[in-house]
């Protein structure tokens, strides 16, 4: 009987009339090369939303001091943590909503709204006149900036499958560079009247608002990105109606159109998709670690050496992060694609998590160094730490997007952003409280001072490493 069976006909790809998603798919099908222009748009938009997230950390210590809410120097980290957490808390409340909006109304509207939010609320944060204004503007910036999830979905919809790993690596690279260059901008341009008295006077706007200049520069960049986004093509398919689609296939040879009706398969419940949910959990743990590290690094580097810090200025921290950002760009463009192709996203994440643990254990001992040796060691450690982090995060991006079909990527990334934002909201607040507590236990027997902070960071990294193994991590197709 098997010999007489007729093989099933291979289903042809069908493109639908007046559907932007089909237009993009057809473009991808006809153009086999790398979409440089679309990738540049994705990179710039992601950078735009990443810059303001961590730009405050180099000057947050001094901002809290100037706002006069901390009763002592050791309490500054406590109050700084809540300002750092406000953005992520706001984003946690709305990320799933923005993902659903992106799946229903398109990626482009969500991207445009997110960029506008950066322009308005990032600028207002720089002009904060009290502690609560700083918290509220950061919260609103996070709540209305829901474009990271949709831009991840968008990045793999503007290219062929062979370039999807690179597309997601561009998102994670731009994001990571934003989290590094943003603080560099904050470090160099904050308190300009003190750093550049020949250009800015104490009576000028930037003398009275010493943290407005870096925020304003990032907002001006966002304005340029907003203008360029007017020509952003939509990628969402819009040919659904009452569970059916009208199938319009145009033949380039005959110029005829065939018309048929097919019923769409039911959507899978994303919360029951274990490969997706397990990869989101891994992503959240490593994101918590990275956000806590970002907060701790600036606070630790700027704190006095008598408290176990490095006595860096905000400009020194900005320089370290700028070097790390440039190195990260080189790594992501020329090294990561080959590394990921050879090792795969899971193995590469495990290797980087293992290497991170001994690296962080060495941080507290840098306080015994000084001069050029201190600068060299801190810069090398910062570059290596950020390379390891972005490799892990990119791997989790790939796993998440491979776990769902195209029409659910916006919602899946919305769930991912919601969960990640909750973890990242906890991270700076907890890191600030723990850092403030550690500053007061310099002579403790068990991990004194900042050694305790880096020990706890390593503990989180170890948990993330364990979760990359079965049965905790589900892999699509297995």
Q: Which among 179, 386, 152 is positioned nearest to 279, based on CA atoms?
A: 152
pLDDT in tens, the chain (478 residues): 444 544 444 445 676 767 887 877 778 777 777 888 888 999 999 999 889 987 888 888 889 888 888 777 777 778 888 888 898 889 888 888 888 888 888 888 999 999 999 999 999 999 999 999 999 999 999 999 888 878 888 888 888 877 877 787 788 778 877 877 888 888 889 989 988 888 888 888 999 999 999 999 999 999 999 999 888 888 888 765 434 444 444 444 333 333 343 444 566 778 888 888 999 999 999 999 998 998 889 889 988 888 888 988 878 888 887 888 788 878 877 888 788 888 888 999 999 999 999 999 999 999 999 889 999 999 999 999 989 998 998 888 888 878 887 667 767 877 887 888 889 888 888 888 898 888 888 888 888 888 999 999 999 999 999 999 988 888 766 5
Query: Can you give the pTM of this predicted structure?
Result: 0.73
Where are the alpha helices (H) located in 252-370, listed in sequence order? 274-302, 314-334, 336-361
Give the count of alpha carbons within 13 A of 450, CB side only: 27
Q: How far apart are the first and last CA of the chain?
A: 31
Task: Report the run of H or E that residue 262 belongs to, with start and end.
Answer: strand 257-263
Q: What is the DSSP letter of 244?
A: E
Task: Report the run of H or E that residue 241 belongs to, with start and end.
Answer: strand 240-241
Token pair listed for 310: 């490095």
Token pair listed for 259: 């018309």
Cα–Cα distance, 302 to 266 (Å, whole number): 54
Q: Which among 363, 345, 353, 362 is positioned nearest to 462, based on CA atoms?
A: 353
């Amino acid at each position: 009987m098997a010999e007489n069976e007729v093989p099933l006909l291979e289903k042809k790809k069908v493109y639908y009339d007046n559907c932007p998603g089909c237009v993009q798919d057809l473009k991808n099908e006809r153009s086999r090369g790398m979409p440089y222009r679309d990738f540049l748009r994705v990179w710039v938009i992601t950078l735009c939303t990443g810059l303001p997230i961590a730009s405050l950390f180099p000057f947050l210590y001094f901002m809290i001091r100037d706002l006069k809410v901390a009763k002592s120097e050791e309490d500054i980290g406590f109050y700084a943590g809540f300002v750092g957490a406000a953005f992520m808390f706001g984003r946690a409340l709305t990320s799933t909503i923005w993902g659903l909006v992106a799946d229903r109304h398109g990626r482009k509207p969500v991207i445009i709204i997110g960029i506008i939010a950066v322009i308005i609320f990032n600028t207002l944060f720089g002009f904060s006149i009290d502690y609560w204004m700083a918290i509220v503007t950061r919260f609103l910036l996070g709540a209305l900036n829901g474009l990271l999830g949709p831009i991840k979905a968008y990045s793999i919809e503007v290219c062929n499958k062979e370039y999807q790993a690179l597309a997601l690596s561009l998102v994670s690279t731009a994001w990571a560079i934003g989290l590094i260059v943003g603080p560099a901008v904050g470090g160099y341009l904050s308190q300009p009247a003190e750093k550049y008295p020949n250009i800015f006077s104490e009576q000028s706007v930037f003398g009275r608002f010493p943290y407005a200049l870096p925020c304003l520069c990032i907002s001006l960049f966002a304005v340029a990105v907003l203008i360029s986004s007017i020509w952003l093509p939509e990628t969402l398919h819009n040919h659904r109606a009452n569970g059916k689609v009208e199938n319009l296939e145009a033949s380039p040879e005959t110029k005829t159109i065939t018309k048929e009706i097919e019923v769409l398969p039911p959507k899978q419940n994303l919360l029951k998709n274990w490969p997706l949910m397990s990869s989101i959990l891994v992503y959240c743990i490593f994101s918590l670690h990275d956000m806590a590290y970002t907060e701790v690094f600036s606070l630790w580097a700027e704190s006095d050496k008598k408290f176990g810090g490095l006595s860096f200025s905000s400009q020194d921290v900005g320089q370290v992060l700028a070097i790390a950002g440039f190195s990260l760009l080189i790594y992501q463009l020329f090294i990561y694609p080959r590394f990921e192709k050879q090792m795969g996203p899971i193995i590469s994440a495990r290797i980087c998590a293992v290497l991170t643990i001994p690296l962080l254990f060495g941080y507290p001992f840098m306080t015994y160094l000084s001069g050029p040796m201190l600068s060299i060691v801190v810069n090398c450690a910062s570059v290596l730490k950020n390379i390891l982090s972005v490799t892990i995060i990119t791997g989790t991006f790939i796993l998440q997007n491979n776990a769902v079909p195209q029409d659910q990527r916006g919602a899946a990334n919305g769930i991912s952003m919601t969960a990640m934002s909750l973890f990242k909201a906890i991270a700076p607040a907890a890191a600030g409280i723990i850092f403030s507590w550690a500053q007061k236990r310099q002579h403790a027997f068990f991990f004194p001072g900042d050694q305790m902070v880096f020990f706890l960071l390593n503990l989180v990294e170890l948990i993330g490493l364990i979760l990359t193994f079965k049965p905790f991590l589900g892999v699509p197709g297995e």
